[in-house]
């Protein structure tokens, strides 16, 4: 039985990846942060008591800032595949917390790679790189496009990208970069723009709220469905040779387009409900990200099927169910 370790297992992608790997017969280990409240809502449905016979999903406390803990865990778990998804992943927040973002999102990658090297673990390593690394470089962007990050988050991801490549080149490690364009789902964090919009639409339709405050509506993004993207991560680690791949839909929508699609699906007029709030602007913006994933299609057979309009609608539907449940619970 193959064994995988996922950092960031409590996040959007980590939860879909854990499901996917369990479905393929893996034993899955996840790193979680100790918190005073429960932070496992995205994985509660796949959790099994480790005392149960045949349990294949295990959680371990750990932190990307704690290198010695990573050494201990890796040497105890001995994974065949390590999916490094843990990060402070919010671009706007990275301007407020640049040092913390560098420490976790950037140096966290080095701590994990170095832990693998120190214990001589023979495993395959996936680095969650990001289209945010392209930043100001105009689209379409592919694996050969120069990086020009526009945020502390983007800069930290560029560092992580080069550390993964360096461990591949210097130490012969099987380390790959998945350069993923924006991918969303009903499990997306509530402060990323797509989920903020679909949740806002659902709550307005359910009568729980009236107004949705947003920042820059002109930014262009290439939004795909997270559930499909985790399959691409796995495919990268099954290739004969380690390499770097872009995953994207290749389509382009503005934030305004996403707003229109989401409100229209709910039968609402967005202009009656959306207001501008400058607090959601960034000191430097990434104007347009549109990916060219032809290398992943040719070499891995991976292709995005769910495109932005369908994604927006399925997210609105999921959020509306939740909003209605809240209305019912209030009597
Ligand atoms: P997410 O929902 O924000 O999840 C981030 C995960 O990292 C959570 O499990 C979080 O734990 C964990 N984490 C944060 N800081 C940590 C720390 N110091 N130590 C240990 N764990 C920590 O992100 P996502 O959307 O699933 O994205 C997964 C990865 O792909 C991230 O590295 C992200 O930067 C990258 N990425 C995402 C996209 C996208 O569009 N979603 C695109 C390109 C790249 P808590 O639950 O405790 O907060
Ligand atoms: O949803 P966002 O916060 O995502 P962003 O900045 O593109 O980053 C996401 O995708 C990256 C891949 O390219 C990941 F690496 C990263 O971890 C994260 O998952 O913002 C998208 C756009 C931006 O241009 C932002 O300025 O939406 C614009 N926007 C407009 N109003 C807003 C808002 N973004 C947020 N979060 N909140 C708003 O109210």
Please list the pLDDT of the chain residue by residue as tens digits (331 residues).
999 999 999 999 999 999 999 999 999 999 999 999 999 999 999 999 999 999 999 999 999 999 999 999 999 999 999 999 999 999 999 999 999 999 999 999 999 999 999 999 999 999 999 999 999 999 999 999 999 999 999 999 999 999 999 999 999 999 999 999 999 999 999 999 999 999 999 999 999 999 999 999 999 999 999 999 999 999 999 999 999 999 999 999 999 999 999 999 999 999 999 999 999 999 999 999 999 999 999 999 999 999 999 999 999 999 999 999 999 999 8
Q: Minimum-distance ligand to the CA of 135?
A: 2
Residue 79 CB–ligand 1 contact under 6 Å: no
Are 62 and 68 in contact by the 8 Å Cβ rule? The answer is no
Q: Which CATH architecture has domain 193-220+251-292+302-329?
A: Alpha-Beta Complex (3.90)
How many other CB atoms sit within 10 Å of the CB of residue 288? 19
Peptide bond into 17 cis (omega under 30): no
Q: Is the CB of 199 under 6 A from ligand 2?
A: no
The active-site residue, picked from 153, 161, 229, 253, is 153
Q: How far apart are CA 2 and CA 222, in angstroms?
A: 33
Query: With contact defined as beta carbons under 8 Å apart, do 245 and 179 qualify?
Result: yes
Spatial distance between the Cα atoms of 128 and 87, rounded to a whole number of angstroms: 9
Residue 262: phi and psi, rounded to 5, are -65, -45
User: With a 6 A CB cut-off, is 39 part of the ligand 1 pocket?
Assistant: yes
**Closest ligand by atom to 151 CA:** 2
* Residue ranges matching CATH 3.40.50.720 in the chain: 3-184+225-247
Nearest residue (CA) to ligand 2, atom 27: 193
- Is the pTM higher than 0.95? yes
**Known catalytic membership, residue 132:** yes
The first and second tokens of residue 176, run together, are 């790959």
Q: Residue whose CA is closest, atom 25 of ligand 1?
A: 12
> Is 130 a known active-site residue?
yes
User: Is 184 considered catalytic here?
Assistant: no
- The ligand whose atoms approach the alpha carbon of 185 most closely is 1
d(CA 156, CA 119): 25
Taking the C-alpha atoms of residue 230 and residue 217, their distance in angstroms, rounded to an integer, is: 28
Crossing angle of the two packed helices 255-265 and 308-329, in degrees rounded to 10: 50
- Tell the CATH superfamily of the 3-184+225-247 domain: NAD(P)-binding Rossmann-like Domain (3.40.50.720)
> Contact, 60 vs 28, CB < 8 A?
no
Where along the chain do the CATH 3.90.25.10 domains lie?
193-220+251-292+302-329
N-term to C-term CA, the chain: 49
| Residues 236 and 285 sit within 8 Å (Cβ to Cβ) | no
């Amino acid at each position: 039985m193959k064994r995988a370790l996922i950092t960031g297992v409590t996040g959007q992608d980590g939860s879909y990846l854990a499901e996917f790997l369990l479905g393929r017969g893996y034993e899955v280990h996840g790193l979680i942060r100790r918190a005073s409240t429960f932070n496992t809502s995205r994985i509660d449905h796949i959790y099994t008591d480790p005392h149960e016979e045949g349990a294949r999903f295990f959680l371990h406390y750990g932190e990307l800032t704690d290198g010695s803990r990573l050494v201990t865990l890796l040497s105890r778990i001995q994974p065949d595949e390590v999916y490094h998804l843990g990060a402070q992943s919010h671009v706007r927040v990275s301007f407020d917390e640049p040092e913390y973002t560098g420490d976790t999102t950037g140096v966290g990658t080095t701590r994990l790679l170095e832990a693998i090297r120190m214990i001589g673990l023979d495993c395959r390593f996936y680095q969650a790189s990001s289209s945010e690394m392209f930043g100001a470089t105009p689209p379409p962007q592919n694996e050969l496009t120069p990086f020009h990050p526009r945020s502390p988050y983007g800069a930290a991801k560029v560092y992580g990208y080069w550390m993964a490549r360096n461990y591949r080149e210097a130490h012969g490690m099987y380390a790959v970069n998945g350069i993923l364009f924006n991918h969303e789902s009903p499990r997306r964090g509530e402060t990323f723009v797509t989920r903020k919009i679909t949740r806002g639409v659902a709550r307005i339709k359910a009568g729980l709220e009236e107004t949705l405050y947003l920042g820059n509506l002109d930014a262009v993004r290439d939004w795909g469905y997270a559930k499909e993207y985790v399959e691409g991560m796995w495919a990268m680690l099954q290739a004969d040779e380690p390499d770097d791949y872009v995953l994207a839909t290749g389509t382009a929508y503005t934030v305004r387009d996403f707003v229109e699609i989401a409100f229209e699906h709910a039968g609402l007029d967005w202009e009656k409900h959306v207001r501008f709030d400058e607090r959601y602007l960034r000191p430097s913006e990434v104007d347009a990200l549109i990916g060219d994933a032809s290398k992943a299609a040719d070499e891995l057979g991976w292709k995005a099927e769910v495109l932005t309009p369908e994604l927006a609608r399925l997210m609105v539907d999921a959020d509306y169910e939740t909003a209605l449940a809240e209305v019912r619970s209030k009597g």
